Amino acid sequence: MRITQAFTFEAAHRLPHVKQTHKCFRMHGHSYRVELVLDGPVDPVTGFVADFFDVEAAFAPLLDRLDHHCLNDIEGLDNPTAEHIAIWIWTRTKPLLAPLAVVRVFETPLSWAEYDGR
Ligand SMILES: Nc1nc2c(c(=O)[nH]1)N=C([C@H](O)[C@H](O)COP(=O)(O)OP(=O)(O)OP(=O)(O)O)CN2
Ligand SMILES: [Zn+2]
């Protein structure tokens, strides 16, 4: 069984490795959406794969580091593409949430990166 919890945050960023003529070379912002997908058996007593409250608690400190920040200033996010943000979140969340199976980072409702540890 898979469950998903979604979060949103607002942040600024620029992409330092695109051409200077690329619009994303300039500082700009996004309303990001993060989806954490957890995979595991349904506990026969609780009926949960994992308690959404525990997922929220595990992710809260990272969300705090991302929300209303300039992503380029965050250690490990000097090139804050959606791909790198997804890996950054995975690396810091997987040790806390063993059933984590996928991290999705949406820059817009129509464009996102998905990371499953591979
Ligand atoms: N593979 C990736 N490609 C791009 C990424 C990325 O993270 N991974 N990021 C960007 C920029 O962040 C850029 O800001 C995204 O552009 P945006 O204007 O948000 O999206 P659209 O161009 O689709 O929106 P419009 O409303 O059409 O301007 C670029 N590429
Ligand atoms: Zn952008």
Instruction: Tell me the pTM.
Output: 0.96
- The structural domains of the chain, with segments of one domain joined by +, span 2-115
Q: Average pLDDT for residues 46-69, to the nearest whole number? A: 98
Catalytic residue among 24, 69, 70, 114: 24
Average pLDDT over residues 84-113: 98
Ligand 1 atom showing the smallest separation from residue 111 Cα = 23
**What CATH homologous superfamily does 2-115 map to?**
6-pyruvoyl tetrahydropterin synthase/QueD (3.30.479.10)
Give the mean model confidence (pLDDT) for residues 21-45. Answer: 98
- Marked catalytic residue, from 22, 69, 107, 114: 107
SS3 45: coil
What is the share, in percent, of the chain residues with pLDDT greater than 90?
A: 100
How far apart CA 9 and CA 14 sit, in angstroms, is: 16
* Catalytic annotation present for 68: yes
To test the pocket of ligand 1, the residue of 15, 21, 111 to mutate (highest count of ligand atoms within 8 Å of its CB) is: 111
- How much of the chain is in helix, strand and coil states, percent to nearest 5? 30, 35, 40
Residues 6+ apart with CB under 8 A from 51: none
pLDDT tier, 52 (very low <50, low <70, confident <90, very high otherwise): very high
